[in-house]
């Protein structure tokens, strides 16, 4: 279990084997490699330092499968599935996810209000799991900020426009020209990864 946790935690913290070796003043990463392939276990003093570095207990490091532990991801306010709504970044609650779905502050949840994405099965009360990023591929479902108001839509790029397309024929697309994008009144907040349905 220890070797599995060592590989997992090192990657979660964005460290290479050499980075970890440098942190412990080893000349090369060979010692780290041995920890991770199970051929060597560090001394108790080193285990204490590893536990402190990774913010876990020694017992958990040695005996628990930390890759299966759940952690809490913040729900940062609401997003309109319809007309844009004022953006909120206050933490209103948390949802638990598996550790391997979450790294640092790259992911967050938003609660949906409105039904403009109904046909994509995004309904009021659902929780959207968002990867925080400032770019999208064509036809991604994304969260876009327009003059400090957030909305979730399919995002389509043409030569000179960004089109925010609903998944409900009762709503119209929002067309944003290049001038508006260039004046930074429009900002991509992230990509929708999945939708947590609440009944």
Give the active site residues: 116, 153
| DSSP labels, the chain | -HHHHHHHHHHHTT--HHHHHHHTT-SSTHHHHHHHHTS----HHHHHHHHHHHT--HHHHHHS-GGG-EEEEEEEEEEESSS-EE---SEEEEEEEEGGG--TTSEEEEEEESSTTGGGT--TT-EEEEEE-S---TTEEEEEEETTEEEEEEEEE-SSEEEEE-SSTTS--EEEEHHHHHTT-EEEEEEEEEEE---
């Amino acid at each position: 279990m220890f070797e599995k946790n060592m590989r997992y935690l090192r990657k979660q913290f964005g460290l290479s084997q050499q980075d970890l070796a440098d942190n412990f003043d080893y000349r090369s990463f060979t010692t780290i490699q041995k920890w991770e392939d199970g051929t060597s276990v560090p001394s108790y003093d080193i285990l204490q330092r590893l536990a402190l570095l990774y913010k876990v207990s020694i017992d958990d490091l040695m005996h628990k499968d930390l890759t299966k532990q759940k952690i809490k991801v913040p729900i940062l306010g609401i997003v309109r599935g319809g007309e844009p709504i004022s953006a909120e970044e206050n933490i209103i609650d948390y949802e638990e996810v598996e550790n391997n779905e979450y790294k640092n502050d790259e992911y967050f949840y938003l609660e949906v209000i409105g039904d403009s994405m109904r046909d994509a099965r995004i309904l009021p009360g659902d929780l959207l799991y968002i990867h925080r990023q400032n770019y999208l591929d064509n036809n991604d479902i994304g969260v876009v900020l327009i003059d400090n108001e957030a909305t979730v839509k399919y995002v389509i790029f043409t030569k000179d426009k960004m089109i925010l397309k609903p998944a409900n024929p009762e709503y119209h697309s929002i067309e944003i020209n290049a001038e508006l994008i260039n004046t930074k009144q429009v900002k991509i907040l992230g990509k929708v990864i999945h939708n947590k349905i609440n009944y």
